[in-house]
A = this chain, B = another copy of it.
Amino acid sequence: MNAIRVLLVDDHPVVRAGLRAMLSDFEGITVAAEAADGGAALAALARLHALGEPVDVVLMDLQMGDGMDGVTATGKIKAGAAGQPPPPVLILTTYDSDADILAAVEAGASGYMLKDAPPEQIRQAVLSAASGQTALAPEVAARLMGRIRNPEPALSSREIQLLELLATGLGNRAIAKQLFISEATVKTHLGHIYGKLGVDNRTAAISVATQRRIIRRL
């Protein structure tokens, strides 16, 4: 049986070295190539395909230095026309926010592992992904289950819109003016938002919304 050929994608040399060292210790797994960002990953994929040495599994970080993040890269890999069967993508990240997990899964990732996972767990995940199965870290699986059992109240798009203006530091009056509604309505919306996020003031709402990636922050 041929070894599973893995493509490592991470912008941290340290992490790449760790993954390389870790995977090399396992039987049946070899590191075919490495890339520091999404663009390089796509290039490496194409290059290896042209050489007749296709990659079996892509092991990729979710947050990368340059513009393209793991989710976008996953989408591109999955949509990649050239070779018929795009390789399974395994996401390896530090955080396990709901939004990240959902986004990764929706983009077509075959798995979602955390960087603090023990080597054996990572090995299993690579093996699973190579055989076409899905691999989720226990913590991630538990989180998804909890989400299904206990769905969080979803914010309406209007509320998210409010939240974004809120995060820029605007006061209620300014938000009202911006959205062409009355200050009273702004207060009503904010009250609903606080309730849904489980907080009781605007700064906490921003904090929670940012952590859950309901709104983005640059």
Contacts and interface: CB of A to CB of B under 8 A. Distances in A.
Max count, chain B CB within 10 A of own CB: residue among A21, A201, A204: A21
A52 interface: no
B13 A14 contact: no
A208 B168 CA distance: 8
Interface string A14-45: 11111111100000000000000000000000
A198 to B, nearest CB: 11
A13 B114 CA distance: 11
A17 B13 contact: no
A44 to B, nearest CB: 18
Contact of A115 (B14, B122, B201, B218): B14
Contacts of A203: 166-170, 202-203, 206
A151 interface: no
Contacts of A217: 210, 217
Contacts of A16: 18
Interface in A166-218: 166-171, 199, 201-208, 210-211, 217-218
Contacts of A199: 169
A169 B12 contact: no
A66 to B, nearest CB: 11
A205 B115 contact: no
A202 B117 CA distance: 37
Contacts of A170: 203-204
A11 interface: yes
A116 interface: yes
Contact of A15 (B65, B115, B168, B218): B115
